[in-house]
Each structure stands twice: as structure tokens, then as C-alpha cells.
Structure 1
Amino acid sequence: MFNKPSVLAVAVAAASLFSAGVQASGFKINEQSASGAGRAFAGSAAVANDASVVFFNPAGMSRLERSQASFGFTYLQLEGSFDGVRTNPTGMVTSDTAEAGVYNDGGDFMPDKVIPFGYIVHKLDDKAAVGLGIFAPFGTATDYKSGSLAGGFADETQLSAIDIQPTFSYQLSDTLSFGVGIDIVYAQGLLSKELDLVPFGAPGATDPQYKGYENKFEVKGDDIGYGWNFGVMWDASQATTLGFAYRSEIDFDLEGKSEFKQSEGVLGYADPDGATGPIPPGAYPVDGNTGKVDKQDSRVPLTGPRSATFSIAHQFDDRLQLLAGATWTDWSSFKYFDVIATKSGIIDDLSGLGENYIGHIVEKWHDTWSYSVGAEYSLNQDWTLRTGYAFDASPVKDEHRTARVPDNDRQWLTAGTTYNLNDSWSFDAAVAYLFIDKSKIDEYNYDLDDDQKGADNLKGEFDVNALGLSFQANYRM
């Protein structure tokens, strides 16, 4: 029996705030350059084609011949679908009971996105350069249809983040350059889930009005985080360049409000005095005689992982350049995703987790490597063609996959081109198609000891597809 409505535990999922910006695993985004996208970002830390080198390896800024600016955007056409079943808190599989037909499959829960970026590099002299980049390092947006099977674990997820990165680069010798940068990142997020406050099928709760969800929980927050990065480029020979780029962790404490969207006349299901069944507004543990649940101050601690990229670029002949690279990401630092009350209130009491926790999600991600290979071919003075292939491993363990992050390994094929209009202007375009493995899910709620909490469950399979179109303009000063 439910001493407190355990279904009110805010089961927001870990990568929920930061789930895969679909062109990268975890919650990373790869949409920072159209010229890089054309070769699947192979060799990006070992080349300096344009001002986007500010992001990929600031060491390359001093290698640019002139001051220049690059700006553009990526349009992501996304599609996600779910096929599965829900088990409600009484242990009733909804597709096999009187609740059959009450829920939907969530529809296409991945909206299309446009992700902008911009960079500027100013050459101080032949050896030194300063730069500034503005881009999205991570982010996500998923939105299930109201009343979905997944709604008890994930309804809407939104994260937007903007990184303002000042950088400096210096050419130490004819073959070696280095660069450093500071990351100033503003992030804001929204998470919501639907609430089955009075589980249909529990003793005293067989009235049709208790079918489906009765309310909705939402938490919003924002914060500014700080990090740093550095890189080196070394010409191992006249034809071959090696590059290394490192990015530090960035910690966030997204502070904001948690709330029930229908805060008046809230029903719950509890056993305060040995009685069972639905309880009216004003009964334990809802506040006063109005059934009111006030907003509650809360915070969401998150850490953006550190990463290291190794790249090689080899000029095969006057026209063809071959590129390759690998990136390690420290996802194992991401073990939990929590929503924690910062002031006393009702919502954390309703969650039944204790210690002021509103939500606690076990993630326990693992470190990953991604790999890419690509090529650039100078067709003539005006046109350069590109192509690439990448394999990007998911950090999500099968046993902890969540409805907010139906992430899995992906492979992607890319093609792109550069057109040089004149001595000052050039334009890049790229297309990337992702082949993403289908993802199985078997999600439960957990207590603070990481033990399964309640019978609420989502089981099934996700199918996600993605197509990216990138455009970029470059102005050489």
C-alpha cells in the first residue's frame, strides 16, 4: 500500500536535461561548424580552415593567414517513436487492463531544431592571435504527446546552453602552436512529467475518473558555469599535422522552481490512519483544506564532462587531404541526476525519497570513445569537396536507459563542400545522416540507495532518426 504517493517522486531522467543533441552521444552537440560537419569532424583538432578552429583547437588560430569571421547554423530534422507498455504503480500492465486505450505512444517526441554558431579571430601579428566563439556545447528538446505511455517518466525536456569562449593562440615555432580558452556557459532547462496521483486499480480507486494521469510536475532552472580548454598543433612533417584538444568539466547548479501545474484541489493516495483509498483535498499530506501544493525552490546539479580529442591530417598530394580523429569523453563522472529542494515544502515530502530530494535518477554512465575518418579534395580554385564517416558510442548502459534519453550507438555519413566566392568570402554546406541503433528500455523509479522503488515501469523500444543540414559563411579580413 502507498504510505505516501510514491508516484509523485519526480522521476526525471539523467540526461533528461542534457540528452543527446542527436548528432553526438550523451548530451554533447556537434553542430559547431559546417566545414567540419562535411568530413564528420575528422581531423578537426589538426586543421585550421576557418575561424571555427576557435572551438575545435584554439592552437590553430595563429595558423590562419588573416583575421576572419565564420558564422552559420545547423538544421536538425529529427524523428522519434516509441512502441511499448506501461505498468502503473499498482503493478497493472495498462495495455491489458481497463486502462487500455487511455494512453498513447507519445507521437513524434523529437522536434526539429536550428542551432546557430559564430566565431571571430583577430591576428595580432604573424605568431599571435585572439578569438571569440559563441556556440551551443550541449542541449536537447523532447516533448511527448500528453497522456503518453512514457509520460510518468518523461513528458517534456528542454535545455538550451550558450558558450561564450574567448581564446588566445601563439606560434611557438615553425612547426608547433598552442592555444587556450575560457568557457563561460549559460544553461537553462525545463523538465516535466505526468503524475498518476491515484493509481487506477488500487483499493478504493476503481472509479473511471482515476484512469490515466491526474496532474503534471514541472521544474525549471538556470545557472552559469565556467570551464577552460587548451590545444596544441604540431607539424610532424611538411605533409602531416597532429592535433590535441582538451576541454575541462563544467559544473552547473540549475536553480529554480518545482511545481504542480494543477496546484489546487490536488488528490493523492495515502494510508495516514490505516485507511486506504483516494483521499480528498486537504487530507494528508496535501496542505490545509484546499488541497493546495505550492511551488518549491529547488536545484538540479549537473556536470558537463571533460573530453580529449586526438587528430591527424595528412596532405596526400596537392589536391587530397586525409583526416582522422578520436575523442574520449569522461561520461563516468555522471552517476546521478537529482532534483533537490532548497526550501521546505510539500513536493519533496510527497516524493517519499527523504533528505529533501524531489527526484533521484540512477545513471552510472560509462566513458566513451568516438572515431571518425574523412577526406577533403580541392576540385579547383573555387570548390573543395568533403566526405566523412564517424562512429559515436553511447555512454548509456542498457539497464539505466531512460525515456528522456533513448540514446544508443550511432554511425553517421557526411558530405560537404566549400565555395570560394572571392578573396574575402567563402561558403560551406554539409549534410549528415545518422544511423542510430534502436534502443530498448526497462525503466523504474529508484530510492536514494539505488534500489527499485515501486512497480511503476516503462518497457519497450525507441526508434530515432536524424538528418542534419549545415551552412556557414566565412569572411577573411
Structure 2
Amino acid sequence: MKKLVLSLLVGASSFAAYAGGFQVVLQGVRQTSMGNVATAVPDAASMFFNPGAVAMLEGNVVSAGVSPIISRVSYLESEPYYSEAKTDNPVSLPFYLYAAFGFGPENANGVKRLKAGVGVFTPFGSTVKWEDGWAKQSYLRELSLRAIYIQPTVSFMLSDYIGIGAGLDVVVGSIDLKRGIPDPTTGNFAEVKFSGTTETALGYNLGLFVKSPDGFSFGLNYRSKVTSEVKNGDVTFDLTGTSQTFQQNANLQDTKFSSSLPLPAVLTLGFAYSNDKLTVATDLRYTQWSDYKELKFEFQDPIAGATRSVSKRKYKDALTLGIGAEYGVTDALKARIGAYYDFTPVPQGYMTAETPDANALGLTAGLGYSLGKLNINAGFLFVNKEKRSQLAASDANTISGTFKTQAYIPSFGVSYNF
């Protein structure tokens, strides 16, 4: 019994892996529609993708959008016992909100050189809920993880062709995780729940944008790592339906927990070409997942004799390559298309029920329509992760079997320029 409970607790610490393997890059509907490329294309969403490009905006802008994630993970185990299951995930709602305003001196075209504003967005976080009664519920029943970034930003036009910018990231979040604990005497499951809010954490975002008179542009963006900490989170147990023998021997008691989660640094390089009708762009994103080597999980009071646990992750740095295009069908209507390929940071042997991650192909499309100062955007992203099998577990929380993940993500946004 003690071994079973300790294994459960070590596994529970891996909730952070879900954020690592599921980075959420949905911070602009226009950008999502173009294969998530944005570093060299000035837009209100440049506040996230490249604050150096914000200075190139002609006026003030307010922009908002949402991208509902409809996802499904399938699981198949063939050895030693055949079982299969699917997730029954609720729709999660990553969102963004930007506001940028011009100040100070103007260039020859009447564009103010200094821009300042704020962005609010959710680059990490999602929800996983496995169907009721699945055989591996001791690994996970349900997970909800959110990280919200609030970013005051300044951007300055050094010349008509060069912009620089910086933002301060203020990060808050929350975690709720549920797992089952099998009672061998009844066949029923107890439940353990981990819940808490993160301490306010700080990071930064830097950007450089350079363009040429003939339509070519270059962008460079660096977003720093943020260490997000949970202190005095709650560990609670529901033993309903379990036997007295199990309750007496398991030594499960409600307590507090603390842990930390690295949200990795990201470096992105982008190129673009634009003329009166067409914009073509590409981004190369390098995410430093290797900072996520392990996750320590500490308990205020002993559970089954343990006051801490360590879960190995050993993530590796990973690349994402995207390409996209926007074409002006009319002066008001724009059509967009794109694709990206995302290499997984999760090594073989370290997939979990929270992070059954694999290399992924994203296909995107969308439309934008201008009504004077008001712009309306809609897009769609289809994510197809490769089927991936794991035959041997290398950690207390990893799981053998075959996983397949797909996601369908419509997106809707509006912006107002003035």
C-alpha cells in the first residue's frame, strides 16, 4: 500500500508537464490563420509576438480574440491487458486582449514614434479529462491548468525602418488535478485532488523589427523563462466507497503542497515580404524546454510516510517551423493560409496521461474583413499529432501504450484602429 500511494504522489507532481508539452500559441487570429507566423509582420498582436514591431503601427489600436480548443486524445494498451479510452475534454478558451497608443514625436509620415500599451494573454494552459471508468485513472482523471500573462509594453521607432520594444510579463495561474487511488479490497477508487493558485511571477519580452523600402522585413523576439510557484496548495482525499481496511492502512491525510513549474524561454526569428496585395512570412521558434529536467513536490505533512517526491522529465529543446500567406482579395477582404510543424520536447519514455505528446502538424486558414476602422477576423487551426507508442515506463508517472491526439481550433477576433 505504501508503495502504491508513493507512486501516486510522484505522478501527481507531473501536472506541469502538461503545460510544457502543450504550449498554446493562439495570441492572434490573423497570426493563427497564417501558420502562427508573426515575428516580422506588424500587428496589434506584435505585443506578444514581437514588441519591436508595435512601434510600426500607424495609429492606436485595441484588439481582442478567443480560440476555443476542441481536442481529443485516444489511448490503446495491448499488453499485458487490452484496454482503450478517450478523453472527454471540456472546451478550453485561450484569449487575448491588446491595447496600444502612440505618444511623443512623429516621423515624416505623421506616425508617432513611441507606442505604449498592455497585453493580456494565455500562452500556457489547457484542460484534460479522461472518460469515466478508464483503466488508468490512477495516472490521471482530470487536469485544469492556466497561466495568464499581463504584459505592459513600450516600443520605439528608431527610424522609419527599425523598431525596438520590451514588455514586462506578470504571470498568475492556477492548477486543479484529480487522480484515482484503487482500493484492492472493493475494486472502487478513492480520489486525490491537488488544487492551488500560483504566486505572482515576473519575466520579460524583447523584440527587434527591421524592414526595407522594397517590402522585406525581419523580426527577432525573445521571451524569458518564468518560474511559476505554487505555495500552500491543497491536497484533499475523497475515500467514499472504499473499505475501512483501506482507509486505515493507506494513511491518506489532507495537507498542503508546494511546487514550482518552469515556463520555458522562447527565441523566435522571422522573415516576411509584403506588397500591395500579398504578404508571405515564415517563423522559426526555438523553445528551451531543457530547463524542465524534474519537478519537486513537497508536502507540509507526511503522506504514507513521505514529505516530498521528485518526478523526472528530462525535456529537450525543440523547434517549430511555420509558414503563411495573406492575400488581399479586395480592399476590404483578406484570405489567409498557413502551416507549421512542431517537434515534441517530450523524450521517449516520458509520455504521461497529462502529456502524451508527439511531433505535430498544424494546418491553418482564415479570413479578415475591414469595416473602416473595425477589423473582423476568423480562422481555423487543425492540429494532428503523430501516433506515438511507449513500451516501457521510465518514471513513476509515465504510461505504456499508444496515444493519438487531434485538436480543432476555430478562432474569432476584432480590432479597432483609431
Structure-2-length-normalised TM-score? 0.91
Q: How does 1:2-401 map to 2 (within 5 A)?
A: 4-6=3-5, 9-12=8-11, 16-19=15-18, 26-42=21-37, 44-49=38-43, 51-84=44-77, 93=80, 105-125=84-104, 126-198=112-184, 209-211=185-187, 213-223=188-198, 224-255=200-231, 256-262=233-239, 279=245, 281-282=247-248, 286=251, 293-315=252-274, 317-341=275-299, 343-345=300-302, 347=303, 349=305, 354=306, 356-357=307-308, 359-401=309-351
Q: Could you tell me which of 355, 358, 363 is aligned with 1:413?
A: 363
Of 159-168 and 215-224, the range deviating more from structure 2 = 215-224
2:107 paired residue number: none
SS of the equivalent of 1:142 reads strand
* C-alpha contact 1:310 1:325 (8 A) present in aligned 2: yes
Gaps of 5+ in 2: 105-111
Structure 1's unaligned 5+ residue stretches are 87-92, 96-103, 199-208, 268-278, 287-292, 447-452
Equivalent AA in structure 1 for residue 378 of structure 2:
A
Q: For residue 62 of structure 1, give the secondary structure of its aligned residue in structure 2.
A: helix
Shift of 1:264: 10
Hey, what does 2:109 align to over in structure 1?
Answer: none
Specify the alignment match of 1:201 in structure 2.
none
2:376 aligned with 1:427, yes or no?
A: yes
Q: What SS does structure 2 have at the residue aligned with 1:46?
A: coil
Task: Please say if 1:475 is aligned against 2:416.
Answer: yes
- What CA deviation, in whole Å up to 9, does each residue of 1:162-212 have, x standing for no partner? 1111000001122211000011111100122111244xxxxxxxxxx443x
Give the 3 Å change call, closer, same or farther, for CA 335–29 of structure 1 in structure 2. Answer: same
TM-superposed deviation, 1:220: 1.0
Displacement after TM superposition at 1:339 (Å): 2.2
- What are the superposed Cα offsets for residues 407-459 of structure 1, whole Å, 9 maximum, x if unpaired? 1111111111210111x11111111112210122346474xxxxxx6xx9842
C-alpha deviation, 1:17, in angstroms: 3.5
Any conservation in 2 of the 1:13–1:337 contact (CA below 8 Å)? no
Q: 3-state DSSP class of the match of 2:400?
A: strand
Q: Separation in 2 of the partners of 1:252 and 1:373?
A: 31
TM-score by length of 1: 0.80
| Amino acid aligned to 1:151 | Q
* CA-atom RMSD in angstroms: 2.4
How much has 1:150 moved relative to structure 2? 2.1
Larger Rg belongs to = 1
Task: Indicate which of 401, 404, 414 corresponds to 1:463.
Answer: 404
Percent identity of paired positions between Structure 1 and Structure 2:
23
Deviations 1:319-370 (A, max 9, x none): 11211110000001101133211x223x252xxxx5x21x432210100010
CA distance in structure 1 between the partners assigned to 2:404 and 2:94 by the alignment: 23
